[in-house]
Amino acid sequence: MSLDLRPLFPELAVVAASLVALVGDVFVRGPRARMAWPVAGVVAVSVAGVLVWRAGDAAFGSLYARDALGNALQAVALAVAAVGLLLARDYLVRTGLDRGEYYALVLLSTVGAMLMVASQDLLFLFVALETLSLPLYVLAGFARDSHRSQEASLKYFLLGSFASALLLYGVALVYGVAGSTALSRLAEADASFPLLVGLGLVVVGLGFKAAVVPFHAWAPDVYEGAPVPAVAFMSVVAKVGAVGALLRILPATVPHLLSAWQPLLAALSAATMLVGNLAALRQTNLKRMLAYSSVAHAGYLLIGVAAGSDAGVWSAVYYLAVYGAMKLGAFGVLTFLERAGVEADEVEDLRGLADRSPAAAAAFAVFMASLTGLPPTAGFVGKFYLFTAALEAGLLWLALVAVATSVVSVAYYLRAAYTAYLGPARAGVRVLRAPWAGVGLGLSAGATLLFGVLPGPLTSWAQRVAALLR
């Protein structure tokens, strides 16, 4: 067996950039020279993004395979990494955290997500999941001297490892039944009690990463404590990996067991939407509010998994891309605010933003509208596709829950957007100039509006995923 690394060139490009940032940081001094790391990271993920569309085969035996679903989600993960790096730079310089490790960890975590969505074997999936998660635990604690950041890191680590262990036991059970951890063997397995328990544990493990109720308890605490740019990145990349893996395992591999897993996934989806949106209503801290919003969106994404149809799969891929743009943007606005050297993260701190930085306030309003699902933003189109997929799959009640919770979510999203247009500004809150983050914010806002006004190209791109799946 020869080792053909060509399919892995995109991942290798990103790993190379992370190593350059990690090692180079020892030699490079001065803030100006350190601009090299975010630039190198963005260049590497762009190169990788191009390579994704050229490579096309299996690697590591049959553990890893490039296919349409993997390519599409890898492209999303790379775009998320690029914007995530842009949003981080100004914040890191300001808070004295500007070190090569940050960029290296973001890139390594991206590689984990890329491997995860392309894996063809449950064991490989587990290793990829850890590659995704371990850098995120460190990123959560990246503000090393902040007690809140340390605590976020500890909580994320303990609960994340616990979830990984559950997933792994599920993999062992599946292996016991199928005699192999390969997804191709799982696809031929008949329904049996240990197999279903094993799959259930795998779903639980991935549900933890995607912050699905009832495994979401870590999310608000971790998001509140971790540095904003790290939260922006992790809230999206973990979902790309986890939801991508769920799509690959459930609708793509075991459609013949649909009757067994569809009720479970639909129930998880409904519970996640309800708890996430209702809890978000009560939050006064913007990071916590966005954390619960992130929980709620895990529920919307699960609709695509629960539908179990081609339409469900491509709607979920579409929504993951859109979710990335709007969530990165929403957290990105927070990197502009500061109170006495620390993050200003209360909803009330947004007051007067429109007077001091009209562009940031306008972008924030776009993100909030999109998270709610209002036209003409991409969030509306994405939710429309997902709800339609639920209806076509005969899950009318799930679609109704989704619509009802979206209506509820208007209250807190628009309250936050409205606050940004109320004056005067709160005493002590400063709005900073952040050119790098401005570029990242512009890209996210542009994508959110573009895919809302012209959904055609992204839709046909996402639909190709489903067409090539089987």
Partner 1 sequence: MTVPASAYLLLSAALFTLGTVGVLVRRTALILFMSIELMLNAVNLAFVTLARVHANLDGQLAVFFVLVVAAVEVVVGLSILVHIFRSRDTVDVDEVDLLRG
Binding site for partner 1 (CB under 8 A): 123, 126-127, 130, 134, 137-138, 141, 144-145, 147-148, 150-155, 157-158, 161-162, 164-166, 168-169, 171-173, 175-176, 179-181, 217, 220-221, 224-225, 288
Q: State in angstroms the smallest separation of the CB of 164 from partner 1.
A: 8
* Structure token digits, residue 414: 């628009």
Alpha-carbon distances of 169 from 36, 126, 166, 207, 348, rounded to whole Å = 42, 11, 5, 15, 45
Residue 26 neighbours by CB under 8 Å, 6+ apart: none
First-last CA distance in the chain = 26
Q: Which is nearer to partner 1, 97 or 360 (CB)?
A: 97
CA 442 to chain centre: 19
Residue type for 56, please?
G
Q: State in angstroms the smallest separation of the CB of 213 from partner 1.
A: 13
Q: Which is nearer to partner 1, 113 or 266 (CB)?
A: 113
Q: State in angstroms the smallest separation of the CB of 433 from partner 1.
A: 30
Contact 306, 390 (CB under 8 A): yes
Quote the CA–CA distance of 106 and 109 in Å, as a whole number. 5
Q: Which is nearer to partner 1, 54 or 144 (CB)?
A: 144
424 cis-preceded (ω within 30 degrees of 0): yes
Residue type for 214, please?
P
Quote the CA–CA distance of 441 and 87 in Å, as a whole number. 7
Q: Which is nearer to partner 1, 188 or 454 (CB)?
A: 188
Q: State in angstroms the smallest separation of the CB of 284 from partner 1.
A: 13
Output phi, psi for 241, to 5 deg.
Answer: -65, -50
Q: State in angstroms the smallest separation of the CB of 148 from partner 1.
A: 5
Q: State in angstroms the smallest separation of the CB of 180 from partner 1.
A: 6
Q: Which is nearer to partner 1, 65 or 393 (CB)?
A: 65
Q: Which is nearer to partner 1, 198 or 312 (CB)?
A: 198
Q: How many CB atoms lie within 10 A of CB 374?
A: 18
Q: Which is nearer to partner 1, 145 or 190 (CB)?
A: 145
Quote the CA–CA distance of 341 and 344 in Å, as a whole number. 9
SS3 422: coil
Q: Which is nearer to partner 1, 82 or 128 (CB)?
A: 128
Q: State in angstroms the smallest separation of the CB of 101 from partner 1.
A: 12
Q: State in angstroms the smallest separation of the CB of 126 from partner 1.
A: 7
Q: Which is nearer to partner 1, 91 or 292 (CB)?
A: 292
Q: Which is nearer to partner 1, 118 or 125 (CB)?
A: 125
HSE toward the beta carbon, residue 247, CA cutoff 13 A: 36
**DSSP characters over 209-226:** HHT-TTS-THHHHHHHHS
358 cis-preceded (ω within 30 degrees of 0): no
Quote the CA–CA distance of 208 and 282 in Å, as a whole number. 23
Q: State in angstroms the smallest separation of the CB of 357 from partner 1.
A: 29
Contact 109, 132 (CB under 8 A): yes
Q: State in angstroms the smallest separation of the CB of 79 from partner 1.
A: 27
Altogether, the residues listed in the chain come to a count of 470
Contact 60, 124 (CB under 8 A): yes
Q: Taking Cα atoms as reference points, which of 217, 212, 207 lies closest to residue 245?
A: 207
